[in-house]
Amino acid sequence: MEILFVRVDPVQEVAVEPGTLDLLRDILRPKDHEPRADPEVLAAARLTGWPLVYDDKIPPGEVHCRPTPGAPPPLTAAEITKYIQALMPKEQR
């Protein structure tokens, strides 16, 4: 099966159709031998800590990396700039 990742930032959860999620969990499960993907890619995916959730509305083979429902929207570029400037010494602003 081909798996298609659909990403919407900020990623806070991974939602997948049940059969595909079972396959994805098997792929990400640590094994003595990793025949399907580079160990570095698998290690990075395992470290994210994103919750994996079932979603019957997603087509088989698709993985939706998306914000958690009800989470606040991500900061805008202006908000990030303002935050960083507030951290800088006054003489560098």
pLDDT tier for residue 51 given thresholds of 50, 70 and 90: confident
Cis omega (within 30 of 0) for bond into 10? yes
Average pLDDT estimate for 31-60: 69
Beta carbons of 66 and 5 less than 8 angstroms apart: no
Structure tokens that stand for 11 in this block? 């990623």
Buried b (16+ CB within 10 A) or exposed e, 36-62: eeeeeebeeeeeeeeeeeebeebeeeb
* pTM, two decimal places: 0.45
CA–CA separation, 27 vs 34, rounded Å? Answer: 9
